[in-house]
Every structure is written in structure tokens, then in C-alpha cells.
């Protein structure tokens, strides 16, 4: 299933000349395209101009740094209208972007100065008991999807933060709390409904490249889970490190661990998010984390939804942000130390320039065989061993620091990669998780040896390069 890369392309990506589009293009240039779309779409869809509530909602992203002023926004209400819109955009060569949940932090990935397509009206959610599948429109967010599955005894794989959209996470590959058990989100798909660049509406299968309107997930059984968050002060980091090292020796498919290491203006902090896919954890599995002194803990047996909703994701949309990942095979002592050092180093350095600066990163160890649950896919290009994607986000408020932040993130990743390589980990060209990659990450560093094949499919499915008008990682 090499489809994924193309789906990614549809939902996110950066035009080659994105810098010039960002700064130089007067938005009125696309007004005739907006008018053509408004005249062509049917009444389940609607087009909006700036200074309307709907337009503001359509162009809004989780970070103000990835919101752009678009000529107009359109909320298609049917696949037929997606097809009409795509054909108009293609024939007028108008830049566009497709927004699901709006959590892309790269400007130009799901934002545009051209026509912003918001999938918000594709909000349908449906559990099909007969086929054990779950349909979610591409405007659905993970909290909505999980809420709909609550008390059904079933669940789908993916989503670790409320308000993130199903579309972007799924199209990038998708890690979830149950990935050690069932694999990535893309390993658990029953189908996609999509509109091809030439306007043809189709269902899943072979040549997936276009705008996805609906995802069909295979469901997995879901009962009560055990878990929650333990907050630690920074002086517990040595104990956290020991606990992480020991956890990686355990091979329990039902266990998942996320360890945030954050720098905030109030000081560095750490935490452990522990998850076990049963009402009671296997004996001893999280004892090292439970033994670290904390007076903030909400660990308990609870529903999956209750656990998920407890993971507050406060991200004021006034904040600027950039994200980059660093792929490692193990959180070894020196890798852990490098991550902490880089967090404190950049926290201090950029923190001195912007009092609102924070570093947010999460250690996310998986089992060695986490990629063994699915067929070949665009990402990860090599499924023979695990890579821990390790997203690092820098959030700030001073727009003049955009480049400083991007360069800092690159330097952060390089330093951690160097520590892993010095440790004997073969990660100097390890694939990066597309949902955590800075916009100028070379495609080889994401799709590896799959790239020539992806280029071939792209040529066949999108000979006019319609999807090249949208941003994101362009094959």
C-alpha cells in the first residue's frame, strides 16, 4: 500500500516556491477562481470570503505560524463538489490547501494564500457492526471519533492528543497507544474514499492520490484501560531516565509509554504518561515510574475515552510553533542525556530572546516489531525494525524568530542523532516521521528507497501535477 504518501501529499505540502507564495502573492489574484467555485458548487457546500466567521474558522490552525490569509475558503459538503473544486483549481492552476484538523505546524502544508479547502462538513461518523469497521469523514477529530466509539466495546488505532484531526494523522502513518499491539493507523485501514486529481471519485485500493473524503478503519476490541499521567519535577530526571531504560527491556504489547521532557519559562519539567490496555497492568511493568516521587498523578482504571480526554492539549492559537522529529532505535543513556542537554540548551538560548519560549518533546519508545503489523507503505520505508519518532516542538511568540527556531530544531535533531550514532545506532539516514518533519526535510529522509516508486505512481495518477498546487511533502 504505497498509497499513503499520496494521501499525505493531498492533505499537506509545500509548493516548491512556497516562500515566494507566502510573501509576494496578492490574494486578490485568485478572486476569479473563488467566484468560479462559488458559482459551480451545490448547496451542501459554501464558499466564504475574509472577515466572515466561517472563513476565520476555516483558515485557523493550531499555531498562528501555520495559518495563512487565503483568498477565500470553501467547505465542500459532498464528494461531487470536491471533484468540481479540484477541477477548477487544476484548470486555473490556483494554489490551494486541504485542512482536516489544522494541526500541521509547517506553514503552507494545510494553509495557503490561494483557496483554503476545509473538510469540516465531512463530519460523518459511523460504526458498522456487521463489517467491524468505523467510518470517519476527513473533517473528524480524534476526540470525536473516540467519543463515538465509547462503550461500543470497539476502538480504532491512532490519536494521542485531543483535537488533532483523523486525516493528517492517518495520512502520515499514525502512532497510537495500541500501536505495539496492532501497528500504525495505516496498518488498520479498511479503505479510503477519495477524489482523484482529475475529479474522479473512487474508493480505496490501488491508486490513491487526491483528496480523501472518508476513512474506513478496521476496529479492534476495547475494554477498560489502566493509566494516566505522573508529573515529575526536573530533579527527578535521573530516576526517569533509569525507568525509561528499564521499560525498554520489557516486551509487553499492551503497554505504552510517553515521557515528555519540557522546558517552560517556569523551568524544566518531566512527566510519564503510562498506558496499559487492560483494567490492571502486568505486574511490575510501570513500577519504576510509580516509585518516583510525585504529588500529581491521575493513574486509574478507566475508559479509553476518559484516559484520552485527560490528556489536555492546550495550544492557544496565538502561539507560533515548529516541529521536527529525531528518529532513534533506542533511548540509550547517551541519547537520553543528549535530549535533556539539547532541551536545556535551546530553552536557555531561545528563551533569552522570547520569554514565551517552550520546548515540548516526548520520548515514545515502541517495541522492536511495531512496524511488523502492516504491509509495505510509503512511510516507514523499512519495516524491519522500530524507529522511535520523537517529536520535538518549539513554541514561541516572536515572529522574527522563525528561522532561529527552525535552525535550532535542526541542530537539536543533529545532536541527538549524533549521540545515537556514537552509540552504534544506524540512524544517520533513518526515516523521519512525516508528521514531525520540518518542511524542508528531503523526501529521501522520509520515504527512503520507496521514493523512485512513489515518483512513478505520481506520474501515472497526477500527470498534470494538480496536487503540486497544494503544500506538503511533494513527491
Ligand X SMILES: *[C@@H]1O[C@H](CO)[C@@H](O)[C@H](O)[C@H]1NC(C)=O
Which residue, 168 or 379, is less far from ligand X as judged by CB?
A: 379
Name the minimum Å distance from CB 279 to ligand X: 18
Q: Is 16 in the site for ligand X (CB under 6 A)?
A: no
**Per-position x/- string for 33-72, each x denoting binding to ligand X as judged by CB under 6 A, each - no binding:** ----------x------xx---------------------
CA distances from 273 to 142, 311, 391 (A): 18, 9, 15
- Residue 353 in contact with ligand X, rule: CB under 6 A: yes
Nearest to 136 by CA among 171, 103, 105, 179: 171
In DSSP terms, 203 is beta-bridged to 193
Cell of 55: 472563513
> Among 283, 261, 287, which residue's Cα sits nearest to residue 274?
287
Would you say 19 or 460 has its CB closer to ligand X? Answer: 460
CB of 130 to ligand X, least distance (A): 8
Supply the angle between the helices 3-11 and 451-461 in degrees, to the nearest 10.
70
3-class secondary-structure state, position 323: strand
Q: Within 10 Å of residue 50's Cβ, how many Cβ atoms?
A: 13
Distance CA 406, CA 18 (A): 16
Residue 25 in contact with ligand X, rule: CB under 6 A: no
Nearer to ligand X, 5 or 271 (CB): 271
Look at residue 273 and give its three-state secondary structure: strand
How far apart CA 145 and CA 460 sit, in angstroms, is 34
Whichever of 198 and 224 has its CB closer to ligand X, that residue is 198
- Which of 92, 198, 301, 309 touches ligand X (CB under 6 A)? 198
The DSSP H or E segment spanning 125 is strand 125-128
78 contacts ligand X (rule: CB under 6 A): no
> Looking at the DSSP assignment, which residues form a beta bridge with residue 72?
115
The verdict on 229 binding ligand X (CB under 6 A) reads yes
| 334 near ligand X, rule: CB under 6 A | no
Neighbours of 103 (CB within 10 A): 25
Provide, rounded to whole angstroms, the least separation between the CB of residue 77 and ligand X.
10
Positions 388 through 417 that interact with ligand X (CB under 6 A)? 397-398, 400-401, 415
User: What's the min distance (Å) between Cβ of 426 and ligand X?
Assistant: 4
Catalog residues that contact ligand X under the rule CB under 6 A. Answer: 43, 50-51, 127, 129, 152-153, 196, 198, 200, 207, 229, 231, 233, 249, 251, 271, 293-298, 312, 318, 341-342, 345, 353, 355-356, 367-369, 397-398, 400-401, 415, 426, 429-430, 460-461
Amino acid at each position: 500500500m504505497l498509497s499513503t504518501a499520496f494521501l499525505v501529499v493531498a492533505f499537506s505540502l509545500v509548493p516548491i516556491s512556497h516562500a515566494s507564495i507566502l510573501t509576494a502573492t496578492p490574494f486578490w489574484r485568485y478572486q476569479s477562481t473563488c467566484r468560479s467555485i462559488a458559482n459551480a458548487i451545490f448547496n451542501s457546500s459554501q464558499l466564504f470570503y475574509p472577515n466572515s466567521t466561517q472563513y476565520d474558522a476555516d483558515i485557523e490552525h493550531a499555531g498562528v505560524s501555520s495559518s495563512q490569509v487565503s483568498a477565500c475558503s470553501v467547505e465542500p459538503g459532498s464528494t461531487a463538489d470536491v471533484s468540481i473544486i479540484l477541477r477548477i483549481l487544476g484548470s486555473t492552476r490556483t494554489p490551494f490547501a486541504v485542512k482536516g484538523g489544522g494541526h500541521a505546524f509547517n506553514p503552507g502544508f494545510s494553509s495557503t494564500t490561494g483557496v483554503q479547502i476545509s473538510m469540516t462538513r465531512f463530519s460523518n461518523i459511523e460504526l458498522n457492526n456487521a463489517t467491524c469497521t468505523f467510518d470517519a469523514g476527513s473533517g473528524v477529530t480524534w476526540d470525536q471519533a473516540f467519543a463515538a466509539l465509547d462503550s461500543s466495546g470497539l476502538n480504532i488505532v491512532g490519536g494521542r492528543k485531543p483535537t488533532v484531526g483523523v486525516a493528517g494523522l492517518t495520512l502520515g502513518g499514525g502512532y497510537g497507544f495500541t500501536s505495539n499491539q496492532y501497528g500504525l493507523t495505516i496498518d488498520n485501514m479498511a479503505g479510503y474514499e477519495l477524489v482523484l486529481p482529475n475529479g474522479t471519485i473512487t474508493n480505496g485500493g490501488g491508486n490513491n492520490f487526491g483528496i480523501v473524503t472518508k476513512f474506513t478503519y478496521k476496529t479492534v476490541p476495547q475494554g477498560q484501560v489502566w493509566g494516566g499521567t505522573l508529573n515529575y519535577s526536573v530533579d527527578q530526571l535521573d530516576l526517569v531516565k533509569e525507568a525509561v531504560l528499564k521499560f525498554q527491556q520489557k516486551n509487553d504489547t499492551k503497554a505504552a509509554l510517553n515521557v515528555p521532557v519540557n522546558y517552560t519559562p517556569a523551568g524544566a519539567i518531566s512527566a510519564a504518561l503510562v498506558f496499559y490496555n487492560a483494567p490492571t497492568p502486568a505486574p511490575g511493568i510501570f513500577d519504576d515510574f510509580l516509585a518516583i516521587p510525585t504529588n500529581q498523578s491521575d493513574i486509574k482504571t478507566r475508559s479509553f475515552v476518559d484516559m484520552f480526554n485527560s490528556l489536555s492539549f492546550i495550544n492557544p492559537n496565538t502561539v507560533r510553533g515548529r516541529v521536527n522529529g529525531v528518529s532513534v532505535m533506542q533511548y540509550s543513556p547517551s541519547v537520553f542525556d543528549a535530549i535533556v542537554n539539547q532541551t536545556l540548551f535551546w530553552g536557555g538560548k531561545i528563551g533569552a530572546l522570547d520569554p514565551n519560549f517552550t520546548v515540548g518533546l516526548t520520548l515514545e519508545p515502541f517495541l522492536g516489531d511495531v512496524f511488523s503489523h502492516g504491509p509495505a507503505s510509503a512511510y516507514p520505508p523499512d519495516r524491519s525494525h522500530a524507529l522511535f519518532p520523537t517529536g520535538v516542538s518549539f513554541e514561541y511568540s516572536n515572529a522574527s524568530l522563525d528561522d532561529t527556531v527552525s535552525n535550532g530544531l535542526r541542530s537539536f535533531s543533529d545532536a541527538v542523532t549524533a549521540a545515537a550514532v556514537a552509540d552504534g545506532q544506524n540512524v544517520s539516514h533513518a526515516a523521519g516521521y512525516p508528521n514531525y518533519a520540518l518542511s524542508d526535510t528531503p523526501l529521501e529522509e522520509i520515504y527512503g528507497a520507496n521514493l523512485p516508486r512513489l515518483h512513478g505512481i505520481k506520474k501515472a495518477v497526477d500527470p498534470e501535477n494538480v496536487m503540486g498546487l497544494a503544500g506538503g511533502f511533494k513527491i
